[in-house]
Amino acid sequence: MNRVIKIKKGLNINLKGKPQAIKKQTVLSQDYTLFPDDFPGFIPKVAVKQADPVQVGTLVLFDKNRPEIKIVSPVSGEVLAVNRGEKRKLLSIVIRSDGKNTGENVGKKEVQSLSPETIKTILAESGIMVFIHQRPYDIIADPKDTPRDIFVPGFYSAPLAPDLDFILENQEDDFQVGLDVLAKLTSGKVYLGISKTTRSVCLKNARNVETVIFDGPHPAGNAGVQANHIRPVNKGEIIWTIDSAHVLFIGRLFNKGVIDFSRWVALTGSEIKPEERAYYSMLPGVCIEEFIKNRTESVNEHLRYISGNVLTGTAIASDGSLHAFDNQLTVIPEGDQTHEFVGWIAPGFNKFSASRSFPSFFMSLFSKKEYTLDARIKGGRRAMIMANEWDKVFPMDILPEFLIRAIITRDVEKMENLGIYEVAPEDFALCEFVDTSKMELQAIVREGLDWLCKEMKD
């Protein structure tokens, strides 16, 4: 009998624009962009120069401090540009595709016959290691480490999130092989956290893992929340986390001998035409300009394009690119053209409310109304208010307000005592959403983790 964990704190934001369970065409573009900042803890060194030819799996970047960790090209073609910013900071690498996606077949691998060190080397050389994160610090995992446990979230709970059951259809073999590989890399267990409503056979009947069922609102699908409720991270311990969709990359490599980063991406949001809200096959870095052009509802209103979900995604331009870890594209109104009569004084029957500010809070208890939210912060930034509002949506055994204060003041002892080693920026996304102080909590946590990681290594 699988263990069931009930998550009581959190918040489901029922937005308009959910994707239909339809898989449509493959989305291609002329140029593909890689962003080093997508990979926390990765200090990039460029391994290519402009006009260099590349194939799928060709080394593009490697970590300055850990050269065995590599980022490879997702397509074949040639390097179009190496873009740098202030102080020569590497911003992106653009690869122009030749449309062939040719690459070396590395051959199938028998997982059980390989040592953990050999597996880690294969994952690092193929560029898949960068899709595995570690706690503490929420950085790219180091192949030299042996994690205590590995956590694989088996469902998404964020607003408009893709249906992982649907994504994994007909990919059961690759998913299971990926789990078998992960099981070889830890001295403990691989924990697969699934939802109470999970339908997928490959998730419910997964082998070589301990399956735990989660029941509750977002962020129940976050790796950090699941780890905190199953087996928290203590000082000196290391755990790894990986998205279930990225487990497929590992499975394809060992099961078929190919480096294949393609994923089903959900096109979501209130500003996407209903018939276009579906799943499309894409590679990381694909330019969305041509794809998105005729799929939005409004032609005059300013729109916010997001690679990822509305809480943790990255804002991109209409000619921007899909970021490395995302399998969701969201389009919502920018809101800068909206002028509300009497503003917050209005009754607000059609406004989403996480508190009792508007009647819609009580209406949401009895209906499944879908809301259209825009990108406005709706208020000015102000001093931090200790109002216990974060704690209501933060389901980890951590005091979020006190931890944020410790991070801001760089108090290492308090940060450690308050659970800094367990968290990632995404765990504070809901706190940021309900925060009346309008603080950028995810950015604060990211800066704090990076600073603490550097302090502990020096």
* Three-state secondary structure call for residue 135: strand
Cβ count within 10 A of residue 410: 13
**Closest Cα partner for 57 from 303, 283, 343?**
283
Beta bridge partners of 77: 54, 97
Residue-level pLDDT, tens digit, the chain, 458 residues: 689 999 999 999 999 999 999 999 999 999 999 999 999 999 999 999 999 999 999 999 999 999 999 999 999 999 999 999 999 999 999 999 999 999 988 888 899 999 999 999 999 999 999 999 999 999 999 999 999 999 999 999 999 999 999 999 999 999 999 999 999 999 999 999 999 999 999 999 999 999 999 999 999 999 999 999 999 999 999 999 999 999 999 999 999 999 999 999 999 999 999 999 999 999 999 999 999 999 998 766 799 999 999 999 999 999 999 999 999 999 999 987 777 766 666 766 677 877 766 666 656 656 678 889 999 888 777 888 888 899 999 999 999 999 999 999 999 999 999 999 999 999 999 999 999 899 999 999 999 999 999 998 87
Residue with tokens 């073609």: 77
- β-strand 279-282 against 263-268: which pairing, if any? antiparallel
CA distance 288 to 265: 12
Angle at 151 between CA 388 and CA 242, to 5 degrees: 100
Ordered alpha helix ranges (H), 168-321:
172-183, 201-204, 223-230, 244-256, 289-292
CA distance 163 to 20: 9
**Closest Cα partner for 333 from 27, 20, 16?**
16
What's the residue count for the chain?
Answer: 458
Q: pTM of the prediction?
A: 0.95
Q: Output the CA torsion sign for 165, 433, 91, 62.
A: negative
Residue with tokens 């690679």: 307
The secondary structure element, H or E, covering residue 134 is strand 133-135
